[in-house]
Amino acid sequence: MALKVPKANNLQLFKDGQKQIDEPAFRNIQACNELSDSVRTSFGPNGRNKLIINHLGKLFVTSDAATIIREIEVVHPAAKLLVMASQAQESEMGDSTNLVLILAGELLKLAENQLIMGLHPSEVMQGYDLACKKALEELEKLSTSQLASPLTRDSLASALKPAIASKQYGNEDALASLVAEAALIVMPPNPKNFNVDNVRVVKIMGGSLAGSKVVHGMVFNREPEGQIKKVAKAKVAVFTSGLDVAQTETKGTVLLHNAEEMLNFTRDEEKHMEKIFKEIADSGVKVIIAGSTVGELAMHYLDRHQIAVLKVLSKFDLRRLCRVVNATPLARMGPPTPEEAGYVDVMEVTEIGGDRVTVLRQLSDEELDPAAKARGMSEKTRTATIVLRGATTNQLDDLERAIDDGVNVIKALLKDSRLVPGAGATELELAKRVEAYGSGLRGLAQHAVKRFATALEVVPRTLAENALGGTEGNEVVSRLWARHQEKGGEVIGVDVEGENNGVLSASEHGILDSLAAKSWAIKLATEAAVSVLSVDNIIMSKPAGGPKVPQQAGNWDED
């Protein structure tokens, strides 16, 4: 008979203030389910919006899962694992972030039932890993088409519509056309080097989405500082430092005895400034981009030399602008060398919806004269700006998020051009094939594989419930299962408009999703769910406390 040694009750293992939570599996699953359920209603074209007020008091009205999880502060450690998986999907693909959250949440919800029935977490994790590998294998076989090559505006727009429709249902045609046009303007000779940063968005209040347009080059929502408002075929200098009289580090006192001394006091400084701007003008510069303040004296000399000045305070915009005009930003005030100076075809002020904006653009091949083409100046700008019009700030922000998703989808498709049927068709077909795979397995892991197949049903079910209601949603999923048993049924998905008994052929209606985005989403959702299930203990350290803020006396500012 073994001797049982009693545990000491007063044994202290951790520092004071640390918390230890034993058997946290069910609590973790509950926290992840709450996060998953909160974003599930925002899934698909008929997803509901969330009204979020962040810690700075800024208001967001959006159905974009990436924005929702970025602005809400999740503190539960297990739910944070789901958030990190979703953020990894956002950085890798820029789309399907909501799919990661709802699939991981459903996997954990079904794992909870298995744990209650007595399965060990390691058996559930093993089953989920097997099912994930099988699902990714089958996903490779479901590709029905791919992005047409060479790229055209129509082919890009049709590939973008499903992704944009999930954020802006009803506006997808107009937005997809704008994004496709902007993407083709900035497309490099090797499409795989496409940079999403080259497509900018400028939001101008007023009007409607129909008034939005794409502009070659960059648009700034402000006018030039001086009197010169339009310049053509000009050399450009970019300064990150302020264009002003240099201030000394120490303060001094000057005693002036007569009027002549007073007149001479600033004359040397003015002469020095005039010399610098004359050198800049002599170097052929006609446009100056200032990243900081422009002094009145500097403005006077720049106007005298007929040099246009545009102030750009955002360092990100300044970096993009340097790429457009092919200039090097200078931290000193002085004439740029030929290598540091850039070139712009047109800088002009135009009016959009009552707002005067500055446009810097390079002429396209059709607009250039033969002499310029002969000099090799036909290389187009690699930046395009989508000027968005809308009635409210929130609407413009939501349109910008939809465009951002569209541009990221283009990037993903240029890396892997394969497309799979959307509208929940691919997920249901994967569920059918993983279910059949699980039935042929031996051991306890087969139960987890079958649960994985059931979890994949959450995509068509959520699409149908958000569009048609809970009761009708169940009937639509039943009809989908029936159609997927038929030959050629793998392209049948959910009809969110409910016209054909709630089902339609995704391929015929052009509802296609990126295979790479689906593959990443399934992989990341499974990894997140397995990570949560593998936790058997949570140890939380005491939060670090810095020094206390010194208390000021009550009347410290009265003097």
* pLDDT tens for each residue of 379-428: 455 678 888 888 888 788 888 888 888 888 888 888 877 888 878 888 88
pLDDT value at position 374? 41
Question: Which residues are registered as beta bridge partners of 386?
Answer: 201, 214
Whether residue 265 contacts residue 252, with contact meaning beta carbons closer than 8 Å, is answered with no
The answer to whether residues 122 and 249 belong to one domain is: no
CA 283, distance to chain mean position in Å, is 41
Decide if 204 is inside a domain. Answer: no
Residue 558 has pLDDT above 80, yes or no: no
Give dist(CA 223, CA 454) in Å, integer. Answer: 58
Instruction: Say whether 361 sits in a helix, a strand or coil.
Output: strand
The two beta strands, 231-239 and 329-330, are parallel
Instruction: Say whether 76 sits in a helix, a strand or coil.
Output: coil
The answer to whether residues 241 and 300 belong to one domain is: yes
The answer to whether residues 304 and 432 belong to one domain is: no
What is the per-residue burial (b if ≥16 Cβ within 10 Å, else e) of 308-317? bbbbbeeeee
Q: Which of 5-9, 270-274, 281-285, 470-474 has the lowest mean pLDDT?
A: 5-9
Give dist(CA 471, CA 465) in Å, integer. Answer: 8
The answer to whether residues 432 and 370 belong to one domain is: no
What confidence category does residue 371 fall into, taking pLDDT thresholds of 50, 70 and 90? Answer: very low
The answer to whether residues 242 and 369 belong to one domain is: yes
Residue 370 has pLDDT above 70, yes or no: no
Residue 18 has pLDDT above 60, yes or no: no
Question: What residue has token string 């994004």?
Answer: 179
CA angle (338 as vertex; 336, 342 as ends), nearest 5:
80
Domain closes at, from 324, 352, 382: 382
Boundaries of domain holding 35: 19-144+421-540
The answer to whether residues 362 and 243 belong to one domain is: yes
Domain closes at, from 356, 382, 408: 382
The answer to whether residues 244 and 370 belong to one domain is: yes
For residue 455, CA distances in Å to 26, 85, 107, 494, 498 come to 18, 17, 6, 17, 23
Nearest CA among 531, 549, 551 for reference residue 77: 531
Across the beta sheet with 145-146, the strand order is: 145-146, 418-421, 512-514
Residue 470 has pLDDT above 60, yes or no: yes
What confidence category does residue 11 fall into, taking pLDDT thresholds of 50, 70 and 90? Answer: low
Decide if 213 is inside a domain. Answer: no
The answer to whether residues 346 and 481 belong to one domain is: no
Residue 365 has pLDDT above 70, yes or no: no
pLDDT value at position 1? 45
Percent of the residues in the chain that have a pLDDT greater than 70, as a whole number: 86
The answer to whether residues 459 and 528 belong to one domain is: yes
Decide if 453 is inside a domain. Answer: yes
Decide if 183 is inside a domain. Answer: no
The two beta strands, 50-53 and 213-216, are unpaired
Residue 553 has pLDDT above 80, yes or no: no
Q: Which two tokens stand for residue 28?
A: 């973790």
Decide if 398 is inside a domain. Answer: no
Residue 449 has pLDDT above 60, yes or no: yes
Decide if 200 is inside a domain. Answer: no
Question: What residue has token string 């999930």?
Answer: 166
More confident residue, 239 or 8: 239
Decide if 416 is inside a domain. Answer: no
Give dist(CA 314, CA 355) in Å, integer. Answer: 20
Q: If you ran DSSP here, which 8-state letter would residue 417 be given?
A: -
State which of 27-31, 320-324, 518-522 shows the largest mean pLDDT.
Answer: 518-522
The answer to whether residues 241 and 349 belong to one domain is: yes
pLDDT value at position 390? 80
Residue 455 has pLDDT above 80, yes or no: yes
pTM of the model: 0.76
Decide if 397 is inside a domain. Answer: no
Nearest CA among 528, 522, 532, 471 for reference residue 498: 471
Residue 551 has pLDDT above 60, yes or no: no
CB atoms near residue 282 (< 10 Å): 10
How large is the average pLDDT for residues 492-502?
74
Residue 293 has pLDDT above 80, yes or no: no
Domain closes at, from 354, 382, 410: 382
The answer to whether residues 437 and 522 belong to one domain is: yes
pLDDT digits (tens, 9 = 90+) for 62-84: 777 777 777 777 777 788 888 88
Nearest CA among 306, 312, 98, 299 for reference residue 202: 312
What confidence category does residue 544 fall into, taking pLDDT thresholds of 50, 70 and 90? Answer: low
pLDDT value at position 128? 85
Contacts of the segment 10-17: beta carbons below 8 A, 24+ positions apart: 14/539, 15/541, 15/542, 16/542, 17/541, 17/542
The answer to whether residues 376 and 515 belong to one domain is: no
Q: Which of 26-35, 226-235, 448-457, 494-503 has the lowest mean pLDDT?
A: 494-503
Instruction: Say whether 447 sits in a helix, a strand or coil.
Output: helix
More confident residue, 18 or 276: 276
* Domain tally, the chain: 2
What CATH number should be reported for the domain holding residue 460? 1.10.560.10
What CATH number should be reported for the domain holding residue 295? 3.50.7.10
